[in-house]
Amino acid sequence: MAAALKRAYLAVYNRAVFFGWAQVLYHALTTLLQTGHQDVYAAVERPLQLAQTAAVLEILHGLVGLVRSPVSATLPQIGSRLFVTWGILWSFPETRTHMLVSSLVISWSVTEIIRYSFFGTKELLGSAPSWLLWLRYSSFLIMYPTGISSELGLIYIALQYIKASGKYSLRLPNTWNYSFDYFYASIMVLLIYVPGSPHMYTYMLGQRKKALSKSKTM
């Protein structure tokens, strides 16, 4: 009974988030073709925020054992995306009309549509077709570099606005006797990408080799 409820919940979750990302991709592409990259963020803002924030549940899924994905791999990726979604794009409107928003949104949505399709199908039917398995473990070869490059570019572009606005920074003196500078924190995030991105890419290559070799023996 518990196993059936788990599979039903994960099937519903994956299907719901899949439709969220499909909506993001549809609006991004139609807006890009009709009016240009400068309007893409405005067209996808709400579904993007909802779909990306829903990924927080995946961390909880890993913590409570609903899925086998290690939290150590899930947390940094989701955390960096939430930082870009809320800490950059939502917080600093000046970044929203840049062309990198389009490459970011398309890279994220294509990746997630494939991923949630794969897991949703697997939970619903017990397995996924070989072509979907291949897409799940191969699309990142292109989408991860384009997505990461877009994330890095947008954070870098936002630095000037972060510094000028002083938003989210806490200056001394204050009641807590503590200071925090969002500008330098954002620079630290950029620096973390340097070792983090190749490490994650290498990890995904390993997962790809493992998954595809396993499928050949079945």
Task: Provide the annotated active-site residues.
Answer: 144, 151
Q: Return the SS3 of 109.
A: helix
Q: Return the SS3 of 176.
A: coil
Of 109, 96, 102, 101, nearest in space to 32 by CA:
102
Alpha-carbon gap, residue 140 to 134, rounded angstroms: 11
Alpha-carbon gap, residue 218 to 214, rounded angstroms: 7
Structure token pair of residue 20: 């969220």
> Which residues on neighbouring strands pair with residue 170, listed in sequence order?
180
Radius of gyration of the chain (CA): 19
